[in-house]
Structure 1
Amino acid sequence: MKHVFFWLCTALVICASPTSFSNIAPDVQLAKVYEQRKPVSDYLVSEKYDGVRAVWDGKLLKTRTGHIIHAPKWFTAVLPNRWLDGELWAGYNNFAFVSSLVRRKVPDHENWQQVHYLIFDAPDPLLTFEQRFEKYQGIVNGLHSIHVKPIPQHHFTNKAQLDEFYTQVLLRGGEGVMLHEKAATHQGGRTAQVLKYKPKFDAEAVVIAHLPGRGKYQGMMGAIRVKTMEGVIFNIGTGFTDEQRVSPPAIGSTITFQYQGFTKYGKPRFASFLRVRDAL
């Protein structure tokens, strides 16, 4: 019984405090798709930034899969000794630029000057998201940092107000909005408490086969067969350059694809290849 009690206490300490173990994946929240099942007033709404997800565990900056991000020391020196969740962002349509910086083991100090760490949560299992918003906003504003900023959250009372904000985001080059359930406590993994509202959605899948091309793609890859984490298998035949068709994503690699809702059989509708996911 003493051994059981020791391990239970250890687990509680790890869950309640920031962890800085290398390559341990943080228990981050992952969004589902907004389907208007609850009133808009139940949520806080923010812009969705197309950056690289980054978790500060109190000592180290990590990707959501647990890999250390070798940011310059001056970039992380201002961050507090607590868990923060956010996006590394360098402006609209600059995902590839940030992704290349994150993959480097030796930081490029000059290019990191263009990066902002946009905070959207300060995870705490005892607080609702509405309370966590007030908390992370206070923490980040208290840093008085040029490159670390809190993401604003908005209250809307109806779908028309949400759509107006959504349209404004798209017009300035954004990719969509996020809805966090106000009363929800932090829950790791894919959750309906966090929703994304986008004209096109993206998801990930593993490549399980290459299908031969026909016509102008004769002798090249025509489509890839993929399998999602939920076990759904389907083909993706669009979104590729000719170069990618000659040298397609490797079998076993994880790719990101875009889609527009689901078919009646539960498969992504109009799926299109976006990119190979970096092994971060």
Structure 2
Amino acid sequence: MKRRHLLLAPLLIWAQRAMAQAPALLLAGRYRPGIDLRDWWVSEKYDGVRGHWDGRQLRTRGGEPISAPAWFTAGWPATPLDGELWAGRSRFEQVQSTVARQQPDDAAWHGLRYMVFDLPAHPGTFTERLAALNGTVSTIDKSWVQAVPQRKVASDAELQVLLREIVRGGGEGLMLHRGASLYRAGRGDDLLKLKTHDDAEARVVAHLPGKGKHAGRLGALMIETPDGKRFALGTGFTDAQRADPPPVGSWVTYRFRGVHESSGLPRFASFVRVRADEARFRAAR
């Protein structure tokens, strides 16, 4: 038992450090029709790994340091930046595997871009921050550091047309940011995401054994949502993931289509991935 505690000690220390250093980031709510879109900026939602530049170090959303090559962040300002490490549409696995490495792979990092979408420390509104953000990115003057393009739409109908266009091209969805809003950490109504499906995160609390063709490996994950609801997540896994499932205590992303009225549980839930910073730690073990 003592030996087990000694083995767990580095994990506990890592977890405590990550929690202590987790950046206070603005998180997105979900878009619902009926919003007056005149004061909203719209951009593509990039399927990558959230990257917070604190002025000295790139960190994941959970606060874990990202081991980027020195050249990748050379010349970046002391000003905090909020953005997404991205390799292009439908290339999340490429980003995840690159970011997961403790020793950076130069060739892999040359395939990534840092898409900057906000300035967390700027005191102005989002519209004011956009002007400052574009100036900051211009000053950095690196081809792999780009300001996220923002645009306006006149109506929900126009927004839906744009969403379908992005999704047909392999994109994940759209982000909407209220122009008059200040940067406030946490989830609220100033930043919204719009996708053709819903997704969410939950913590793994147990592995349920498989039956039939899945006998001897994972049948489903028992997961717990942030509000305490538990349900079994049994679809969306590859054979490799069933043989080596996400560990108990890790956080996973799942996709669903609405919720059941009686229970509030998600309908047609399907596993998508282990959360990026969790995957990085697993790769480092």
Asked whether 1:56 is paired with 2:53, we answer yes
Q: Equivalences for 1:231-270 in 2 at 5 Å?
A: 231-264=228-261, 265-270=263-268
**Post-superposition shift, 1:130?**
1.4
**Aligned match of 1:194 in 191, 208, 222?**
191
CA contact (8 A) 1:124 1:132 kept: no
Q: Which moved more, 1:52-61 or 1:130-139?
A: 130-139
**Post-superposition shift, 1:75?**
0.9
Amino acid in structure 2 at the alignment position of 1:139 = T
Alpha-carbon distance between aligned partners in 1 of 2:242 and 2:101, rounded to the nearest angstrom: 27
**Post-superposition shift, 1:119?**
0.4
Alpha-carbon distance between aligned partners in 2 of 1:258 and 1:33, rounded to the nearest angstrom: 14
Question: Relative to 1, partners in 2 of residues 1:114 and 1:216: Cα closer, same or farther, differing over 3 Å?
Answer: closer
Secondary structure of 2:208 counterpart = strand
CA contact (8 A) 2:126 2:183 kept: yes
Asked whether 1:108 is paired with 2:105, we answer yes
**Aligned match of 2:131 in 134, 137, 141?**
134
* Residue number in structure 2 paired with 1:12: none
What TM-score, normalized by structure 2, do the two folds share? 0.85
Q: Relative to total residues, which structure has the larger helix share, 1 or 2?
A: 2
Alpha-carbon distance between aligned partners in 1 of 2:208 and 2:47, rounded to the nearest angstrom: 30
**Post-superposition shift, 1:220?**
4.0
Secondary structure of 1:149 counterpart = strand
CA contact (8 A) 1:125 1:187 kept: no
**Post-superposition shift, 1:206?**
0.9
CA contact (8 A) 1:23 1:67 kept: no
Any idea what the Cα deviations from partners look like across 1:25-65, whole Å, max 9, x if unmatched? 11011111111242222311100010110011111111111
Any idea what the Cα deviations from partners look like across 1:64-120, whole Å, max 9, x if unmatched? 111111111111013111011001111122211111221222221122111111000
Question: Relative to 1, partners in 2 of residues 1:144 and 1:235: Cα closer, same or farther, differing over 3 Å?
Answer: same
Alpha-carbon distance between aligned partners in 2 of 1:243 and 1:95, rounded to the nearest angstrom: 18
Amino acid in structure 2 at the alignment position of 1:256 = T
**Post-superposition shift, 1:219?**
4.5
Question: Relative to 1, partners in 2 of residues 1:125 and 1:75: Cα closer, same or farther, differing over 3 Å?
Answer: closer
RMSD: 2.0
CA contact (8 A) 1:40 1:162 kept: no
Secondary structure of 1:110 counterpart = helix
Question: Relative to 1, partners in 2 of residues 1:73 and 1:22: Cα closer, same or farther, differing over 3 Å?
Answer: farther
Asked whether 1:24 is paired with 2:21, we answer yes
* Residue number in structure 1 paired with 2:66: 69
**Post-superposition shift, 1:192?**
1.9
**Post-superposition shift, 1:227?**
0.4
Secondary structure of 1:142 counterpart = helix
Secondary structure of 1:208 counterpart = strand
Alpha-carbon distance between aligned partners in 1 of 2:95 and 2:273, rounded to the nearest angstrom: 15
* Residue number in structure 2 paired with 1:144: 141
Secondary structure of 2:140 counterpart = coil
Equivalenced residue count is 260
Alpha-carbon distance between aligned partners in 2 of 1:44 and 1:119, rounded to the nearest angstrom: 15
Asked whether 1:273 is paired with 2:271, we answer yes
CA contact (8 A) 2:122 2:129 kept: no
* Residue number in structure 2 paired with 1:95: 92
What TM-score, normalized by structure 1, do the two folds share? 0.86
CA contact (8 A) 1:212 1:221 kept: yes
The runs of at least 4 consecutive aligned structure 1 residues that moved more than 6 Å come to none
Percent of residue pairs bearing the same amino acid type: 45
**Post-superposition shift, 1:218?**
4.2
Q: Which moved more, 1:67-76 or 1:201-210?
A: 201-210
Alpha-carbon distance between aligned partners in 2 of 1:215 and 1:183, rounded to the nearest angstrom: 56
Structure 1 residue runs of 5 or longer lacking an equivalent are: 1-20
Secondary structure of 2:192 counterpart = strand
**Post-superposition shift, 1:187?**
1.1
Any idea what the Cα deviations from partners look like across 1:243-266, whole Å, max 9, x if unmatched? 433443322222111112222132
Alpha-carbon distance between aligned partners in 2 of 1:241 and 1:109, rounded to the nearest angstrom: 29
CA contact (8 A) 1:225 1:233 kept: yes
